[in-house]
Structure 1
Amino acid sequence: MKKRLLGVIDATTYAEDLKDLTLHRSVAAIPFGGRYRLIDFILSNMVNSGIESVGIFPKYPFRSLMDHLGSGKNWDLNRKRDGLFFFPFSSDDKPNFGMNSFEHFAANIDFLNRSTQEYCLISDANTIFNMDFNPLLEWHMEQGCDISEVRRDGAPLNIFLVKTSLLLELIDSRDKTGNYCMRDVVTDIDSPYQVCYYPYEGFAVTVDSIDQYYFASMEILKPTIWGQLFLKERAILTKVKDEPPTHYSKSASVHNSMIANGASIEGIVENSIIARGVKIAKGAIVRNSIIMQKTQIGENSILDHVIVDKDVKVESGITLIGTKDAPKILQKGSIIKGACVNS
């Protein structure tokens, strides 16, 4: 089956409610789970399903995403044939240029024309899930579908399966039909194509808001959810970094949390996700929070329901309190001073 599927990842998603985390990166590059980026899930799912050729279609800013993906080596996509392809587009001056845009695909049509795979799997880059696409392909062929859309509990996951030849036809006829993306096609009541809906029953969250990001992050702290996402036989792959193991001092206390390598913990961590290289000083308390890479939390500081972006410095004695429904967000590279900051 693996030679029959071509992967296309649309990384152009923009969500206004995620703007505090996307000032310097795309949605696809938002850190997740202490070690990963959002795009790691769909990219790993494709690779684990045997897909050997993947095209990524991002919009500006994409430097962080390119730095994370590199040559695709960490996903075994640095190949002489097929492999990982990157097709950035930085302009907004074209109409109908949005999610799964046929305009974006048309601008890089050689990628599709030269592909040898019979079928194409198109997906966004911001859904947290772990799925084998081979059963989807088998089901698609058995049902005689023209287009299959993956759904969970009736809600679309922005994942489409279509013959590559049909995708080329849809791109070529976009101005005539007025369908400028796959969503337009599957919702067109006059469409001549048989559209099927494939039910996915595992854990899946599409991250398009801070609420969804925080919810998904806290959910993976549950063993049952963790077990659905991080499987030995279908590992979620990410950029490898050579860092030492996490250091825990005698004063450290950690409960129900994910701590990435390279961190240094001297304080208390509860129900939180701590990324690589984070330092939590003695007497500091971090609860129900997400702390991203290389952040420093000073002595005797208290963080509860806080999302801290990369390279933030929280000085000693700071109190930051958010809520489950409105977590406090600290932007990348900020320095937090003062005696007390509450929501």
Structure 2
Amino acid sequence: MNKQMLGIIDASPYTDELKPLTTHRTFSAIPIAGRYRLVDFMLSNLVNSGIYSVALFPKINSRSLLDHLGSGKQWDLARKRDGLFVFPPRADYPLDQSSIVSLLRYHIDYFLRSKQKYAVITNSCTICNIDFKDVLDHHIRSNAHITEVYHKEQSLHLYVLETALLIDLIHQESFHVKTLSEFLQSFSSKYSFSRYEHEGYTMVISDISSYFNSSMDMLNRPIWDQLFAKDRPVYTKAKDEPPTRYTKTAVVKNSMIANGCVIEGYVENCIIFRGVKIEKGAIVKNSIVMQKSCVGEKGLLNYVILDKDVKIERNIQLVGDIENPNVIPKGTVQGSLMNL
């Protein structure tokens, strides 16, 4: 039996609930876990499931995403046959008038040329480690037209169906939908759906709170081991950085520190990305500090998200809470006149 699958990542969704993290980047390119991007989880799931033809459909602010993906080499998708295909929005369609279905219809040749019998439709907002081979086996046994993945009775908006059926649906008339999930659900009265229940840690990123909570969850070793299983790794763009330097004044507790950092202060329950500097006397707790940011001497962060290239000057204190972390936009400077 032909059990080959092709992968489709709907990277088009956009929400104001993730601003300012999405001001300069698309949803799927949001940094997470010290050195990854959101898209890495689902892209790695597809590859770990033996899927080597993957189509990705971004919509806006996709420059950082395209730079991150490159040729797909890090995911073993730089191939002469199949591989990674990125289909940006049509240049002749205004973004507010183009739907994800019209984009799929415009690139229908990709699906017509595919030799895989089945298609896996995913998103880039779900963080989990799932084997789509198991989902496919369930789909075949169920004899349903479409299989939808659930976790604790909640849909994850991940689907398996035959490629021929997907092509047929793409050609059918449909209302203006924002996501592929909405598109498939519009046929729920016409086609049979089965449920596949996924176990293990799962988080759907929909706003700043869910992003922050999922990031903090990764400091829990059992959760980390589930997401970053040795036999099902999460791949990402490799960057060569020197080891992090810890001075004699550094104190680090229950934190994730990427390469290339300089830690001189106190860090607890934090995720620190590459190239970050925490100066002497600074206290950083329950926070996310993204690439090449700096926390100045005797500064204080608690429940804060610093985007890339943020500078917190000396003696500045920034405090949020677990439900509403304080988010500092990319490239900004918090100085004495901005003391919050």
1:263–1:184 CA distance, 2 compared to 1 (3 A) = same
Q: Name the amino acid aligned to 1:250.
A: K
1:209–1:39 CA distance, 2 compared to 1 (3 A) = same
1:328: which partner in 2?
Answer: 326
SS at match of 2:138: helix
Q: Distance in 2 between matches of 1:2 and 1:290?
A: 45
Q: Distance in 1 between matches of 2:299 and 2:96?
A: 49
1:56: which partner in 2?
Answer: 56
Query: Gaps spanning 5+ residues in structure 2: where?
Result: none
Q: Distance in 1 between matches of 2:135 and 2:6?
A: 14
Q: Name the amino acid aligned to 1:21.
A: L
Please tell me whether the aligned partners of residues 147 and 161 of structure 1 are also in contact (alpha carbons under 8 angstroms): yes
Structure 1 position 109, deviation (Å): 0.8
1:103: which partner in 2?
Answer: 102
2:303: which partner in 1?
Answer: 305
Structure 1 position 123, deviation (Å): 0.7
Q: Name the amino acid aligned to 2:94.
A: D
Q: Name the amino acid aligned to 2:216.
A: M
116-125 or 332-341, larger mean C-alpha shift: 332-341
SS at match of 2:20: helix
1:53–1:68 CA distance, 2 compared to 1 (3 A) = same
Q: Distance in 2 between matches of 1:305 and 1:234?
A: 31
1:200: which partner in 2?
Answer: 198
Q: Distance in 1 between matches of 2:272 and 2:289?
A: 5
Render the CA deviation track for 1:149-200: whole Å, top value 9, x for unaligned.
111111111111111000000001124xx48544343354531x11111101
Question: May I ask how many residue pairs the two structures share in their alignment?
Answer: 337
1:251: which partner in 2?
Answer: 249
Q: Name the amino acid aligned to 1:93.
A: P
Structure 1 position 316, deviation (Å): 1.0
SS at match of 1:23: coil
Superposition pairs of residues 1-343 of structure 1, within 5 angstroms: 4-89=4-89, 93=94, 97-98=98-99, 101-175=100-174, 178=175, 181-186=180-185, 188=187, 190-191=189-190, 193-338=191-336, 341-342=339-340
Query: Gaps spanning 5+ residues in structure 1: where?
Result: none
Q: Distance in 1 between matches of 2:195 and 2:176?
A: 19
Please tell me whether the aligned partners of residues 102 and 174 of structure 1 are also in contact (alpha carbons under 8 angstroms): no
CA RMSD of aligned residues (A): 1.8
Please tell me whether the aligned partners of residues 89 and 95 of structure 2 are also in contact (alpha carbons under 8 angstroms): no
Structure 1 position 21, deviation (Å): 0.3
Please tell me whether the aligned partners of residues 3 and 118 of structure 2 are also in contact (alpha carbons under 8 angstroms): no
Q: Name the amino acid aligned to 1:45.
A: N
Please tell me whether the aligned partners of residues 90 and 103 of structure 2 are also in contact (alpha carbons under 8 angstroms): no
Structure 1 position 126, deviation (Å): 1.4
1:94–1:221 CA distance, 2 compared to 1 (3 A) = closer
Using the size of structure 2 for normalisation, the TM-score is 0.95
Render the CA deviation track for 1:229-276: whole Å, top value 9, x for unaligned.
111000011000011111111111000110011111111100000001
1:189–1:89 CA distance, 2 compared to 1 (3 A) = closer
Please tell me whether the aligned partners of residues 319 and 340 of structure 1 are also in contact (alpha carbons under 8 angstroms): no
Using the size of structure 1 for normalisation, the TM-score is 0.94
1:20–1:95 CA distance, 2 compared to 1 (3 A) = closer
- Identity, % of aligned positions: 47
Q: Distance in 2 between matches of 1:219 and 1:159?
A: 22
1:311–1:321 CA distance, 2 compared to 1 (3 A) = same
Structure 1 position 93, deviation (Å): 3.2
Render the CA deviation track for 1:277-331: whole Å, top value 9, x for unaligned.
1111111110000000010111110000000000011111111111111111110
Q: Distance in 2 between matches of 1:132 and 1:86?
A: 23
Q: Distance in 1 between matches of 2:269 and 2:257?
A: 11
